[in-house]
Amino acid sequence: MSISPPQLADQKPAPVLYLASASARRRLLLQEHGVAHVAAAPGVDDGELKPGRVSPEQWVAALAYLKARAGLERLMRGSNRRARSVSEGFPEHGGTPTVEDDGRWHGVVLGADTVVVKDGEIIGQPRDKEHAGWIVRRLESGSHDVVSGVALLGPGDGERLLLVDRSRVTVGAIGDARIESYLASEDWRGKAGAYNFSERIADGWPIACEGDETTVMGLPMRRLTPILTSLGVASSARGASEATPC
């Protein structure tokens, strides 16, 4: 699912990218690709939401849009106070004013969501240790898909973009002892499919993927980077051909 980048009206030469996410992995991906940004949790608890009868692509696109919209609303509440910085809504912002004399803020909000798909079932983040163990054992010795969705919203009506990417991940035999050690570490918390791809490689897990590795990590940078560059928010981004494949 892809929509051509819109023309965001009256943007500054270097609009601010607001990441509506508390994910350290997504922040790191943006940093590694030279994308200047600020970040804050969108205030959306999607853990209680159920996919229903939709495809994984539709689900992550919907959640990404929901998060971006929540982030946009926080920014708009700040912009209504005209003279203030949006740092009240995005506390990690350095205090640089982003609200112009016309009362509008100038930037792009990014929301994202990632799920694992195993045998057609959508698997999100584990609820607890027991659930994490069930997920890891289900993914062991087999292949699954990872689907990441991204929503980009500008301040004007209709200024939005949605994209979804999918990669294939294969996991070998991990073994009960290593699984129990992993569960005890609690490194599974807050991660779709109960794992982080790069961390599991570093820890020696038998894991590999086909497609864009960054899609598995939470942001499909191979496709996203050139879009951000076209919108003027990427300061020194690598081209799409340079994004890391699996």
Known catalytic residues are: 113
Residue 89 and residue 77 in contact, taking contact as beta carbons nearer than 8 Å: yes
Q: Output the six-digit token pair for 217.
A: 């990590």
Of how many residues is the chain composed? 246
**Residue found by looking up tokens 């699954």 in the block:** 144
Count of beta carbons in the 10 Å neighbourhood of residue 244 = 15
Distance CA 1, CA 63 (A): 14
Distance CA 143, CA 237 (A): 31
Count of beta carbons in the 10 Å neighbourhood of residue 238 = 17
Residue 217 and residue 29 in contact, taking contact as beta carbons nearer than 8 Å: yes
Residue 201 and residue 42 in contact, taking contact as beta carbons nearer than 8 Å: no
Distance CA 160, CA 102 (A): 21
Q: For residue 160, which phi and psi values (nearest 5 degrees)? A: -150, 160
> Closest Cα to residue 223, out of 232, 235, 214?
214
Residue 135 and residue 104 in contact, taking contact as beta carbons nearer than 8 Å: no
